[in-house]
Chains A and B, each alone.
Chain A
């Protein structure tokens, strides 16, 4: 079955600390992988995506993610978190085929302490 697991429901970090949000997926074909961010009351903004090629991808706002096929993972990282990064982060897989359906994780809520 196709699925996305984000093991951490909630994470709290101090401003300036590094961050890693975990994402594991189960998908039959070569996956297209995405990270989206949702700020309170806002829509979903694409942070970065992986389709093929270099397994370390750079995104907006200083985020990066690494695709590890052997671990079925696509973890999101940021070396130094800012208070404005507090939000809900969603990992998604899919987006191919005619219906372009994205399969979503349940999200990780990030809180940032000053």
Chain B
């Protein structure tokens, strides 16, 4: 049981490049979400999903896309990276029957 996994751990992009941050969980959780963590701002919700095929925006969704084709995976896509997207990104999951969210180890992204 690996819990919530995220890849890559670190990534450096140039402005305008695209990439996908991967998130997977093996707990059969319905709910998955993405947060970004910035100094002085705390963690902020980007997107979330309550099940396969269902996604919705959080409080800072601009510049990010998500999809949920399977229960296990919830990738976060940056279509055209900007320096403002330099951050640490955390994926989380939980069962809809529980209010406890489990977090992955994070991806540290730098956009030059």
Contacts and interface: CB of A to CB of B under 8 A. Distances in A.
B45 A102 contact: yes
Interface string B7-21: 000000000000000
A89 interface: no
B106 A102 contact: no
Interface string B67-111: 000000000000000000000001000100001111111100000
Interface size classification for chain B: 20 to 34
Contacts of B104: 43
A104 B99 contact: no
B103 A43 contact: yes
A45 B90 CA distance: 12
7 contacts: A42-B106, A43-B106, A44-B103, A98-B56, A101-B48, A104-B42, A104-B43
Interface of A: 32, 36, 42-46, 49, 51, 90, 92, 95-96, 98-102, 104-107
